[in-house]
Structures are given as structure tokens and as C-alpha cells.
Amino acid sequence: MSPDGSASAMRIGFSEELAALEAGLQEEGDLVLRALRSSLNALARADMELADEVISFDDEVDKRYVAIEEGVQSLLARQTPVAADLRLVLAILRVNLHLERMADYCVTVAKLTKLMGDLNVSEPAIAGSIEDMGQRAEQMIRVALDSFADRDPDKALTLAELDELIVQLNKSLGTTIVVVSHELPSIFTIADRCIMLDGAAKQIIAEGDPRELRERNPDPRVHAFFNRQPVAHAERARST
């Protein structure tokens, strides 16, 4: 085979592998949608058996996550993509990570359902708002996956509007919700008050509005977290 023919065959193989990885993402997204709907149904019906199924089903999502991650690693090792191809491969890695995390949140809902005991969430206002938020979340997942597959940035921009609807539904409940997260976009979007714990010191090191903590808190650990700087770098910056 000529060098040109060999290069062409390699390019075709690369494109086919990329297409397979993207198809895997879509399939993983379908699994996440199934887990989300099942976790919401388990919560609404206080269905412990269904909650257990959601928890067990997470293994299927994890298998798909690992397969995609290993596929990306293999592709990077053998093909050395550049430019647009490299951006797509890295995007697949990120989408894969977030899909797996969504499934973990579904497991959390299922586990909380099992811990609720006799607590009742069937009160119409609460149940209706949770169902509405769940439907919006399902819609967001579908829009995100479709916009990625279609390379449609305009469709992707509509996610911000859908997210705002979920935030407003949450606020309409008039309830306090505790969320554990290290994701800054989520923190700044949904949190009115933030508490930051130091695992080593086993104590609270900051609390308040997350934007105030980002801008004004003097603790280098807090500044590093909200500005995503290594602590050592933050300490050097403060000393200059």
C-alpha cells in the first residue's frame, strides 16, 4: 500500500473510532435518562424496590463510562489527534464525566428515598415541583446531547433558559435544600449561602454568599477554591 493509501486508511479508522465514541456517549445518555426517570418515580411513590434498582443500575452506566474513557485513552495513544479532532476528543472526555456524575446523583436520590422512612413528599406543591424539575432536567439532557451531536451552538445556548426554569421552580418551593458540590458553576447558580469545610482541620473555614467568599474572604484556601488556584500560589500572591 502506498503512503497516501496508508494515511487514508488510518484517517478512516480514526473517524470510525470517533464516531463509535460519540455513539457510546449517546447510549450512556439514554442510560442516564432511564436512571433519572426511575429515581424520580421511586421518590414520588416511596418505592424502595425501584430505588434499589436505580442503585444497581448505576453499574451499567459505570461500565459505559469506563469503556468510553479507555477508548479515548487508546485513541490518543495511537492516533495523536490535533486541532478540531483533539478538541472533539477532549469534549467527549468531559461529557462522559458529567454523564457519569448525573447517574451518581440519581443514585443519591434513590438512597435518600430509602432513608426517608415515613416522610411524605406527596403533598401536591412539593410533588408537582419535583416532577416539573425532573422533566426539565430530562429535557436538558436531551437538548445537551442533541446539540453536541448536531454541533449546534444555538441549541446549546437554550440550556441556560431551561436551567433558570429549574432554579425558579426550586425557589418556588420555599424550602431549604442542602447540596454538596465542588462544581463552581452549580454553586454560583443555585446557592444563596455556602459553607466550606476543611477536611484536614475538620472544621468550617468559611460561610456566606459564594460571591462574597470569592471576592472578599482573606483565607487563601477559600480564595484558592473559588478562584481555582493552588493554595501555595494563592499564598505567594497574597505576600507580594
Per residue of the chain (240 residues), what is the pLDDT tens digit?
545 455 454 555 778 899 999 999 999 999 999 999 999 999 988 899 999 999 999 999 999 999 999 999 998 888 777 788 889 999 999 999 999 999 999 998 999 888 886 666 667 777 787 888 889 999 999 999 999 999 999 999 998 888 887 777 777 766 666 777 777 877 887 788 888 988 787 789 999 999 999 998 889 989 888 887 544 444 443 443
Looking at residue 39, its pLDDT comes to: 95
Amino acid found at 238: R
Looking at residue 120, its pLDDT comes to: 65
Looking at residue 12, its pLDDT comes to: 59
Report which DSSP code applies to 230: -
Instruction: Please give the Cα distance from 4 to 100 (Å, whole number).
Output: 40
Query: Considering the entire predicted model, what is its pTM?
Result: 0.70
Residue indicated by cell numbers 501555595 = 232
Q: How many CA atoms lie within 13 A of 128 on its CB side?
A: 5
Looking at residue 175, its pLDDT comes to: 65
C-alpha grid cell, residue 39: 429515581
* Chain centroid, CA 87 distance in Å: 19
Looking at residue 237, its pLDDT comes to: 39
State the CB neighbour count (10 A cutoff) for residue 103.
27
Instruction: Please give the Cα distance from 21 to 239 (Å, whole number).
Output: 47
Looking at residue 84, its pLDDT comes to: 86
Instruction: Please give the Cα distance from 114 to 194 (Å, whole number).
Output: 27
Domains of the chain: 3-175 (1.20.58.220), 194-239 (no CATH)
Instruction: Please give the Cα distance from 50 to 66 (Å, whole number).
Output: 25
Closest by Cα among 152, 135, 41, 58 to 99: 58
Looking at residue 172, its pLDDT comes to: 73
Residues in the chain: 240
**What's the burial of 77, exposed, middle or buried (CB within 10 Å: 0-12/13-18/19+)?**
exposed
**Spatial contact of 183 and 105, defined as CB atoms under 8 Å apart:** no
* Chain centroid, CA 53 distance in Å: 21
Residue 182, SS3?
coil
DSSP H helical segments within the chain, as ranges?
A: 3-45, 48-79, 83-115, 124-150, 153-172, 184-190, 210-216, 220-227, 231-239
